[in-house]
Amino acid sequence: MFTLHHQDKNTKARRAALKTSHGEIQTPFFMPVGTNATVKSLSNEDLENIGSQVVLSNTYHLFLRPGMDVIKNAGGLHKFMNWNKPILTDSGGYQVFSLSQFRKITDEGVKFQSHLDGSSHFLTPEDIVSIQGILGSDMMMPLDECAPYPCGEKEAKKAVERTTLWARRSREFFLASPLKGKHLLFGIVQGSNYKNLREQSAKEIVDIGFDGYAIGGVSVGEPIEFMFHAIAQAGPFLPKDKPRYVMGIGLPDQIVKAVGEGIDMFDTCIPTRYGRNGSAFTSRGRLVVRNAEYTSDLRPLDDQCDCYVCQKYSRSYIRHLYNANEITGLYLISYHNVHFYIKLMQRIREAIESDCYDQFQKEFLSCYGSTL
Amino acid sequence: MFTLHHQDKNTKARRAALKTSHGEIQTPFFMPVGTNATVKSLSNEDLENIGSQVVLSNTYHLFLRPGMDVIKNAGGLHKFMNWNKPILTDSGGYQVFSLSQFRKITDEGVKFQSHLDGSSHFLTPEDIVSIQGILGSDMMMPLDECAPYPCGEKEAKKAVERTTLWARRSREFFLASPLKGKHLLFGIVQGSNYKNLREQSAKEIVDIGFDGYAIGGVSVGEPIEFMFHAIAQAGPFLPKDKPRYVMGIGLPDQIVKAVGEGIDMFDTCIPTRYGRNGSAFTSRGRLVVRNAEYTSDLRPLDDQCDCYVCQKYSRSYIRHLYNANEITGLYLISYHNVHFYIKLMQRIREAIESDCYDQFQKEFLSCYGSTL
């Protein structure tokens, strides 16, 4: 299901295709985040126009609202949200730890209170796979324990052990269910910022055997270089014939660097969140379009961009809409930003195919700038 | 510039075309309201897909934000918002009276404080025409005094007299300016709910001579039947060879009835405002999609509707988005609602052309219901 098309000569970057029940995805790829079964402020038509291959949605949020009955009634998440391309759903583990009002974690599973209405829930790793089965996710994530940052080694080790235990139970449940063959189940590597734990976790998770491997426990408030440590620590133990996914990453320059380290899959709510905050991504870095300097600037957000927003609207107009609290303003910036991410991945794929990824990286960063 | 194509045999409804510098508009027509140079939550692409012939924008709001310098710099409102079809702008008179923190009206003009930043402004009727010239409005409205509801006869009479005085100055300024020939200037009839004043105002305004005639001072909190009184009182004095516009109206059944009374033009923020409140207009009346009864309802908002929202999304999904505070939810309802209004006008035009407007009215109201 994962076909390697090309390995870049000078970096670890690779071009591949990942086969799912809703079509093949060209890697490396970016997944816009649709927490509540929609990418914030965009419609599916927008995502199709932009050329998004896939959408990510959040199990925790959908489980609580609208709830499984509603999605089951619609015939699954694809039909519910009318999105016919692949969907990845996370496990909800991260959300349980970061959002719920109360939580108790045992080896058996997680007990938590909804951040919406305080209702109590208990979910096992098997439940999490089962729920994603009802959602009909093409790519499922097993329940894992995401260690906070910072995290002591003992606590991080416990999280690794529990993540492995849950991964094994998830995989066994998955293989014994009708989900097998129709869906992909990923494994998640934990280990915080400890080399030995990242190695241990990667080995144990790979030993169980999954359809793809994610590096979790990043993007939890740690310095960004720790994410690259985690990639460097776990990477050597991940099989080359499976997709690699760094969860919740990142800014454009971070994605460009991570692809060079052999990562295939990314997701982050940054393009839409920054869009709602009035910040546009451009080939020359971030542009805070709400700023006064753009009051009468008739140029597009990015003169290198071919999205319809940049063909049709000026910074002056978009700034006005944003400052007048018009939804259309944050919509236009969000559209442009998601387009920026999707086109960036397209350029990344082309650069790898042409064996010039290192040159692409340099050119991109010299124009865009770097946060690293 | 106003070509009457057909007069319905059994009602006062008429089919005509209104020529503007940005193309011909088929009447009767509805203008979505784009207060801040955008129809709330929609993009211009949406309006084009929906088939809107024209957009209305608010002089008062644009004058204050982004201000005339910004719009002049862009080359006018059409270029600023990238809308190449006709635009009508109101005079701002109504907003000065309803929104500004402080206002003083003299025969010379209006002094007011911005509701945004408290800044003081003084505008004459000539300024108002001039501002709309900078905006480049295809259809301009002169400064008028919109009497509140309820309003004593003496106060209403004073408003009529000042409206006539300002209308004359506006027309004279317009005719002596380069705006003449490129733009249309409408006259506004006031008179509150007084038959004699409506007659007086209509006669005086028509006597000055405008490119079209609006009935103002309605939709200010009065019982809806008063609006039909105003139409009945002023209507006989309005020339048949000019377009007639009732300002700020209304619900679908009210528009259907007003067309039967010979009205050609409508505007209201109802479709987008109701959209943001979770209410959809359908062929069977209003549907409050946020209600619990639609939790698992897989039908479209309106099974009679051919808009893309109704082709693609269920009540269940839209309700979920709305209740999860997702912008996409209110966007989808707003899109559908504006589409409902635009298609209603199309059906109205077809019914008039077929000389069966009275039958159309009956059929529409029996299905939709009536608020009258």
Closest residue in B to A38 (Cα) is B328
Residue B144 annotated as catalytic: no
CA A149 to CA A193: how far, in whole Å?
Answer: 9
Residue B211 is a catalytic residue: no
Q: Which CATH architecture has domain B2-268?
A: Alpha-Beta Barrel (3.20)
Question: Taking 90 as the threshold, does the pLDDT of residue A93 lie above it?
Answer: no
DSSP E strands in B156-282: the ranges are: 184-189, 212-215, 244-246, 265-268, 279-282
Query: Can you give the pLDDT at residue B360?
Result: 98
DSSP state of A140: E
Q: Say whether B82 and A42 touch across the interface (CB within 8 A).
A: no
What's the confidence (pLDDT) of residue B51? 98
Residue A18: pLDDT band (50, 70, 90) is: very high
Write out pLDDT tens, residues B130-174: 999 999 999 999 999 998 899 999 999 999 999 999 999 999 999
Residue with tokens 């379009």: A289
Distance CA(B38)–CA(B69), nearest Å, equals 18
Q: What confidence score (pLDDT) does residue A76 get?
A: 98
- pLDDT score, position A131: 98
Name, in order, each residue with C-beta under 8 angstroms of A321's C-beta and a sequence gap of 6 or more.
A328, A329, A332, B36, B37, B38
| pLDDT band, residue A238 (cuts 50/70/90) | very high
**Using CA atoms, how far apart are residues B338 and B333, in angstroms rounded to an integer?**
9
Distances (CA, A) of A98 to A1, A58, A114, A149, B265: 33, 13, 11, 12, 53
Which of A109, A216, A127 minimizes the C-alpha distance to A165? A109
Give one DSSP letter per residue of A204-256, joined into a string. HHHHH--SEEEE-S-SSSS-HHHHHHHHHHHGGGS-TTS-EEETT---HHHHH
pLDDT of the residue at B100: 78
Tokens representing residue A371 in the block = 């946060």
Strands B2-7 and A285-288 turn out to be unpaired
**Contact check, Cβ <8 Å, B41/A323:** no
Bigger pLDDT: B255 vs A115: B255
A63: tokens are 């489980």
Give the model confidence (pLDDT) of A349-369 as tens digits: 999 999 999 999 999 999 999
CA distance B355 to B8: 5
- From chain B, the residues in CB contact with A40 under 8 A are 326-328
Q: How far apart are CA A211 and CA A253, in angstroms?
A: 27
pLDDT at position A104 over 90: yes
In this structure, are residues A111 and A120 in contact, taking their beta carbons and an 8 Å threshold?
yes
User: What is the pLDDT averaged over residues B17-44?
Assistant: 98
Helix (H) or strand (E) holding A191: none
Predicted confidence band at B339 (pLDDT cuts at 50, 70, 90)? very high
Q: If we measure between CA atoms, which residue out of B176, B188, B75 comes closest to residue B130?
A: B176
Q: A96: pLDDT confidence band, cut at 50, 70 and 90? A: confident
Q: Which pLDDT value is given to residue B96? A: 86
Reading phi first (left if > 0) and then psi (alpha if -120 to 50, else beta), residue B213 is in beta
Quick check: helix, strand or coil at residue B263? coil
> Any chain A CB within 8 A of the CB of B114?
no
CA distance B243 to B283: 28
For CATH 3.20.20.105, list the domain ranges present in chain B.
Answer: 2-268
Determine the average pLDDT of the residues in B107-124: 94
- Is A273's pLDDT higher than 90? yes
For the cut 80, the answer to whether the pLDDT of residue A101 exceeds it is no
Q: Does A74 touch chain B (CB under 8 A)?
A: yes
Residue of A65, A314, A330 with shortest CB distance to B74: A314
Whether the predicted model's global pTM rises above the 0.95 cut: yes
A149 touches chain B (CB under 8 A): no
Residue indicated by tokens 């009679």: B304
pLDDT exceeds 80 at position B101: no
Q: At residue B102, does pLDDT exceed 90?
A: no
Where b means 16+ CB within 10 Å and e means fewer, A345-361 reads bbebbebbeeebbeebb
pLDDT confidence band for B312 (50 / 70 / 90): very high
A236 and A201 Cβ atoms separated by less than 8 Å: no
A328 interfaces chain B, CB cutoff of 8 Å:
yes
Say if the ipTM goes beyond 0.95: yes
Band the pLDDT of B97: cuts 50, 70, 90: confident
Minimal CA–CA distance to A238: which of A194, A205, A196? A205
Looking at the complex, does the CB of residue B116 fall below 8 Å from at least one CB of chain A? no
Confidence of residue B93 (pLDDT cuts 50, 70, 90): confident
Q: Is the pLDDT assigned to residue B353 strictly greater than 80?
A: yes
* Pair of tokens at residue A360: 């692409």
Burial bucket for residue A365 (CB in 10 Å: 0-12, 13-18, 19+):
middle
Q: Extract the tokens encoding B337.
A: 């609602």
A308 pLDDT above the threshold of 90: yes
What is the bridge-based pairing of β-strands B14-20 and B2-7? antiparallel
Identify the pLDDT of residue A100. 78
| Residue of B49, B315, B326 to mutate, interface with A, max A Cβ within 10 Å | B326
- Cα(B287)–Cα(B355) distance, rounded to whole angstroms? 31
Residues 6+ apart with CB under 8 A from B101: B112, B113, B114, B115, B118
Task: Give residue B98's pLDDT band: very low, low, confident or very high (50, 70, 90).
Answer: confident
Read off the pLDDT band of B99 (50, 70, 90): confident
Task: Select the residue of B42, B73, B321 nearest A296 (Cβ to Cβ).
Answer: B73
Interface contact B82-A312, CB threshold 8 A: yes
The shortest CB-CB distance from B36 to any of A37, A316, A321 is to: A321
Catalytic residue among B46, B90, B138, B302: B90
Which runs of E-coded beta strand occur in chain B?
2-7, 14-20, 23-27, 29-32, 55-57, 87-89, 103-106, 109-113, 120-123, 139-140, 184-189, 212-215, 244-246, 265-268, 279-282, 285-288
